[in-house]
Structure 1
Amino acid sequence: MSLFKSASVVSLLTLLSRISGLVRDLLIAATFGVSAMTDAFNVAFRIPNLLRRLFAEGAFSQAFVPVLAATREQEGDEATKDLINRVATVLAWALTFTCIVGVLAAPLLVWGMAAGLARDPYTFDVTVALTRWMFPYIGFMSLVALAAGVLNTWKRFAVPAATPVLLNVGLIVAAAWGAPWFESIGIEPIFALAGGVLIGGVLQLAVQLAALKRLGLLPRVSVRLSALRSAWKNPGTQRILTLMLPALLGVSVAQISLLINTQIASHLATGSVSWLTFADRLMEFPTALLGVALGVVLLPQLAAASAAADPARYSQMLDWGLRLVLLLAVPSAVALLTIAEPLVAVLFHYGAFTAFDVRQTALALMGYGVGLVGLIAIKILAPAFYAKQDIKTPVRIAIVVLVLTQVFNLLLVPTMAHAGLALAIGLGALINAGWLLIGLLQRGSYQPQPGWLVLTLQVLAASALLALFLLWASSQFNWVHEEVVVWQRLLAMLGLLVGAALVYFGTLLLAGVKLRRLVRM
């Protein structure tokens, strides 16, 4: 399967995940609104999610996939299977210990994440209880990351891309049926969502393990201390652990920025955490459909090219990925900046989610939109370093960007409140992506193919026309009017997006862009 077809499969399945995620968020917003309880759930769920990004999708995946791909390229499948077993044993022991500590230390974790919630003791206590119930989710998702790394290395991209849907299914069931039932028996309804998270984590792990079993790659985890010591001393495991240390620091930098923002938001107006959360959900559409999909497909292939000492292939794949970023991320950023309020209204303006919530969420979405190109490009540029088992360079860049982001917070939050937090992240992402690109160019790892200047001018011209169309077309409909029914909003947005696609891609074709050539890889 070509890289483009693989990326398309991942992107389509990710789209399904994001659509189900929007249904999930719509139900949560309509059922609970923007309230102290939704802030409690968002903070509590952010804690295991933060650790998931640190250890599962973050440091572990960045270290595990390149070593796994290199081992398979240089030593063959049997050595790779042995490495999988040893890594799984170490990971299982570490996760068991982490989950026990996390449940016991939940009050400290909540205070460190959002001390502002302590203004209301009941909200703080609910957040602590939710954190304890959901903390085992990090264990399930770390094992899911192990399985996904193996499946992606064997070019089985579909299952890892599809399984996030199961988390959304668990939360949809919890919001639609669990919450009313909990309320009927006198339990705080928000606790139903914690049950949905746990069910989703179990289902994701079960599906991925079944896929590994079909390939004959199901890890053998040993509970014996002697096996743990042997697995720990294995050279492959040690290499992964060595790479994980700088990777952990690098991912920690991004999560520290998120932690600081959550802490600041908890001291702003009630609902600020939730407004940022809903805006972040919308941002996941373009970043996941393009950035994550390309990163997932490219990382094992770049690692294999690096292990095989094929710099031309490595540079060619990277160039292809960056051209797709330019082609698709720029118009996506234009859309977020011009029709943020219509997008939020179509997706969330129902039930307890008010017109005021729409406006505040849209402001945050526009802040994120400023840095969308950077946020997507990082998903490709950082793996280009990881593939060469160089994690220190992206870490050093991330640390400096963290400091700059906090400077932006100091300048922007006093006047822009929660929207300033989102804009600071967007500006930081642009700096981070630019710095990574310069680093690859300077070391000669990436050598751009001819045609970049012309393509850039063509994309900018088409995006300018797109912006004018979106501003005009979106002004023809009252998106936040209370009496507008659901199907009217949906049809209006569908027409707007179809028109936008015709304007943008039609302009590119008229300008001479060969779209088929760009997607062929």
Structure 2
Amino acid sequence: MTEPAASPAPTPTGRIARHASVVAAGTTASRILGFLRDMTIAFTLGAGIWADAFFVAFRLPNLLRRLFAEGSLTMAFIPVFSRTRQEKGLAEAFTLARSVLIWLVLILLVICALAIIWAEPLTKLIAPGFARDPEILAGTVTLVRICFPYILFISAVALCMGVLNSLGHFWAPAVAPCVLNIGLIISALLAMFMGWDVALAMAWGVCLSGLGQWMLQQPYLRRYGLSWRGPVVMNHPGAKRIGILMAPTVFGAAVYQVNILIGTLLASLLATGSISYLYYADRLVQLPLGIFAVALSTAALPSMSMLAAANDMTGFRHTLNTTLSMTLFICLPAAAGLAGMSFPIIDAVFGRGAFGEEAVRATAWALVGYSSGLPAFACVRPLISAFYAMEDTRSPVLVAAICLAVNVALSLILMQYMAHVGLAVAAALSSWANVLLLGIILRRKIGAWLDIGPQTFRMTLLSAGLGLSALAASTLGKTALLCIPILACLYALTALKWNIAEARMTRDLLFTLRQKYRR
């Protein structure tokens, strides 16, 4: 089998930016649909016991998805697939993909069967309060049994994502989450209008949406020549390597979940509402992270994996620097803007009904705390991708464990002086420690790689100016939000005037995309 015909290779900056724009577009669409999904669930189920039952049922496969599928499997698969393709050709890489799929199906079928059999004990474990009402417990157990096979489909989708991303295709994996949101919206509304059990219909919607996400990937895989009918090698050395690489990534994902749990536990020791203040502030910080930082790291991993497989460390270092520079170009002004305009943003988004003035003030300060770590939150992702590209999944996990201890220690100290804001600041500081430690370890592995030049200084200076302008505008109240596009345009225009490479790249990318869609 021959490789697909390739056009002249773009520069790393252009290639990563183009791919990241596709992932960002898909993520944005998914976030909008997710918001509509939450509105639909609130409309059809409200906040009653059956809404709680559905969320509990969906939490189990969703937790396994975070531990095993998205992130862990993809991060471990892409470097090995890229190396196999580089050394043995595309046909052997497809054999590896088919072999991994068989292992996934076999392992997850056993897990699904056990979960269905032991659904009642699992439900009691994560929602012990439901045991007080036999009817609610029985209904939730039924929902768990329907939802759980979703992990089988979404893990297969993660494998497809790894193949397509390695081959330079990002659109189908990026929009796959939209299928789940659409499926839940349709199932909830259809059940309500037909008089069916809404929670039960949504559980079936979860499972069928997983199948829909899998089906969405197949036409694009066929275009690259991958058929799931073909040679399979159960003891394929690449499959063994992926299994070895996945073990630390699963542990790392578990550390992340423990970090969230500890933060919630500590917040529960503070004044009532502290958990909610942190949750709502984090939702806003996750927006630029989900759209830009995740998109850039997702786009960069295949490129760095190919460079690592070819032992091109010069190109590898350049690509990593490019990705980090692009990340900072977006996340530095985003952090400054969120911090400077935190009060009017929180007031406009959440400040109504039971969410009073005190809640707005407390959440705004939490947003300031989280915003101080936004650039670090964003930079951690491409740095981890660099380690995964070199098939080193242990170092990021070790650093994550150390930073977990740092986060807990700082949280215990700062919460005594800054209450819930101290927890947000502790999370930010531990993320900066994460960046520092990863950077030091990476220097030992590949030599001097960090290139902080005058352009980074200019981006920082511009972002500080944007933050001060946002702070001044915040005195206007909610009207200050009208200044956001003005400040963004001023930032972009000044960056172009100062000849910042990332600004030129963004301009050229937008121009190229506009020309493409016009045609």
TM-score range, shorter chain: 0.7 to 0.9
Give the drift of 1:217.
1.2
Q: Specify the code of the residue in structure 1 equivalent to 2:484.
A: L
1:159 to 155, 172, 186: 172
- In the other structure, the counterpart of 2:212 is 203
Distance 1:325 1:465, change over 3 A: same
Which residues of structure 1 form unaligned runs of 5+? 480-491
| TM-score, normalisation: structure 2 | 0.82
User: Contact conserved, 1:174 with 1:193, CA < 8 A, in 2?
Assistant: yes
Q: C-alpha separation between the residues in 2 aligned to 1:169 and 1:345?
A: 29
Asked if the contact 2:496–2:504 (Cα under 8 Å) also holds between the matched residues in 1, the reply is no
Correspondence 1:501 to 2:503:
no
CA contact (8 A) 1:36 1:270 kept: no
Distance 2:200 2:23 in 1: 32
Instruction: Work out the CA distance in 1 between the residues paired with 2:114 and 2:419.
Output: 35
The 5 Å alignment of 1:315-330 reads 315-330=317-332
Q: What secondary structure, in the 3-state scheme, does the structure 1 residue paired with 2:476 have?
A: coil
1:46-445 → structure 2 map (5 Å cutoff): 46-106=59-119, 109=122, 125=137, 130-174=143-187, 177=189, 180-181=192-193, 193-220=202-229, 231=234, 233-262=235-264, 278-347=280-349, 362=364, 364-412=366-414, 421-445=423-447
Greater alpha carbon shift after TM alignment, 134-143 vs 384-393: 134-143
**Which residue of the partner structure matches residue 484 of structure 1?**
none
- The CA deviation at 1:144 is 0.7
> How far apart, CA to CA, are the structure 2 residues paired with 1:121 and 1:421?
36
The match for 1:483 is none
- AA at the equivalent of 2:488: A
Does residue 458 in structure 1 map to residue 458 in structure 2?
yes
Q: Is the 8 A contact 2:29 2:178 kept in 1?
A: yes
* One-letter code aligned to 1:334: A
Q: What value does the CA root-mean-square deviation take over the aligned residues?
A: 3.7
Residue in 2 aligned with 1:468? 468
The whole-number CA distance in structure 1 between the counterparts of 2:387 and 2:120 is 37
Report the Cα distance in structure 2 between the residues aligned to 1:344 and 1:138, rounded to whole angstroms: 35
Question: What CA distance in whole angstroms lies between the structure 2 residues aligned with 1:40 and 1:417?
Answer: 32
Shift of 1:242: 1.4
> Following TM superposition, by how much is the alpha carbon of 1:55 offset from its aligned partner in structure 2, in angstroms?
0.7
Larger deviation, residues 30-39 vs 302-311: 30-39
Question: SS at the partner of 2:33?
Answer: helix
Instruction: Give 1:437 shift.
Output: 1.6
Deviations along 1:197-247, one digit per CA (max 9) or x if unpaired, are 33432321210123223333132499xxxx7xx51x221111111111222
How far apart, in 2, do the equivalents of 1:70 and 1:147 lie?
17
Cα displacement (A) at 1:369:
2.5
Deviation at 1:445, TM superposition (A): 4.5
Residue 111 to residue 478, structure 1, CA distance change in 2 (3 Å):
farther
Shift of 1:349: 5.8
Task: Find the aligned partners of 2:214 and 2:424 in 1 and give their Cα distance.
Answer: 32
Return closer, same or farther for 1:442/1:16 CA change in 2, 3 Å cut-off.
Answer: same
Amino acid in the other structure paired with 1:205: W
CA distance in 2, matches of 1:173, 1:271: 33
Give TM-score scaled by structure 1 length.
0.82
The 3 A distance-change label for structure 1 pair 408 and 136 is: farther
Q: 1:50 to 1:375 in 2, by over 3 A?
A: farther
Does structure 2 conserve the Cα–Cα contact (< 8 Å) formed by 1:96 and 1:139? yes
Distance 1:340 1:219 in 2: 50
Q: Is the 8 A contact 1:34 1:353 kept in 2?
A: no
**Which deviates the most, 19-28 or 146-155?**
19-28
| CA shift for structure 1 position 172 | 3.2
**Count of residues in Structure 1 that have an aligned counterpart in Structure 2:** 494
**In the alignment, is the contact (CA less than 8 A) between 1:143 and 1:205 conserved in 2?**
yes
Q: Which amino acid aligns with 2:314?
A: A
CA distance in 2, matches of 1:367, 1:122: 43
Tell me the equivalent position of 1:485: none
Instruction: Identify if the C-alpha distance between structure 1 residues 263 and 380 changes in structure 2 by more than 3 Å, giving closer, same or farther.
Output: same
> SS in structure 2 opposite 1:389?
coil
**Letter aligned with residue 65 of structure 2:** R
Inter-CA distance 28–471: structure 2 relative to 1 (3 Å threshold)? farther
What is the alpha-carbon distance in structure 2 between the residues aligned to residue 104 and residue 142 of structure 1?
21
Q: CA 1:298–1:420 in structure 2 vs 1: closer, same or farther (change >3 Å)?
A: same
Instruction: Please state whether the residue corresponding to 2:446 is helix, strand or coil.
Output: coil
AA in 1 matched with 2:483: L
Letter in 2 for 1:301: S
Choose 74-83 or 329-338, whichever is displaced more.
Answer: 329-338
